[in-house]
Amino acid sequence: MIEFTIWDILRNLLLATRWTILLSLVSFVGGGLVGLVLLFLRISKRKWLRALAKYYIELFQGTPLLMQLFIAFFGLGLFGIDVPAWLAAGLALILWSAAFLGEIWRGCVEAIAKGQWEASASLAMGRLQQMRYVILPQAMRIAVPPTVGFSVQVIKGTALTSIIGFVELSKAGTVVTNATFQPFTVYGLVALIYFALCWPLSKSSQILERKLNVAHRNH
């Protein structure tokens, strides 16, 4: 019987961690871009655009991420389209992340006093100019803590992609456990790696939130 050291186990898990980090980055950046579009739709003056974005957000927030992954992976297969696990995982996580980020950012934009809109309108600014020069710079300061906090959810969400065969950290944990028969050691290390990825983000989110509150009170 082959003996596996803790280093052997850890090395294999760290190799899979690269894919967890890469998938998290792709999901967060892609979700941010789609979320920005959703933000503009949600605050649009046109009712049908607001409704479109609202239904999109309700659909993706109101259904489990696991189901969305299944649909992205198996659903397109029904039409004869062969979707690789990494593509289905990335697509599902981008669309899921966008729904939450778009709503977080909408709340931040709506937290800006109405007087800011009125003041910028009095300077003959168009809607896009108002957003670019007046509203977004203020909203971004409010949005940083919850946005950083949500990135933790994205990292943890990548664990579900193992169900469609994408080999990230949790899937690698299962594979290594089957090879070593040391589930306690393997999953203990998996938990530690997830903690090492998520804790700094959670902590920075709390620090940013405290700084923002202090700055707001001083203001």
Summarize pLDDT for 47-98 with one digit per residue, the tens: 999 999 999 999 999 999 999 999 999 987 787 788 899 999 999 999 999 9
Task: Give residue 37's domain range.
Answer: 6-218
Please give the Cα distance from 149 to 156 (Å, whole number). 12
The whole-model pTM stands at 0.90
162 inside domain: yes
Given a contact cutoff of 8 angstroms between Cβ atoms, the answer to whether 172 and 13 are in contact is yes
Mutual orientation of helices 6-42 and 183-218 as an angle, nearest 10°? 40
Summarize pLDDT for 137-193 with one digit per residue, the tens: 888 888 988 999 899 999 999 999 999 989 999 999 999 999 999 999 999 999 999
| CATH assignment at residue 23 | 1.10.3720.10
102 inside domain: yes
Please give the Cα distance from 163 to 169 (Å, whole number). 12
- Banded pLDDT at 217 (limits 50, 70, 90): low
| Structural domains of the chain, count | 1
Given a contact cutoff of 8 angstroms between Cβ atoms, the answer to whether 197 and 141 are in contact is no
1 inside domain: no
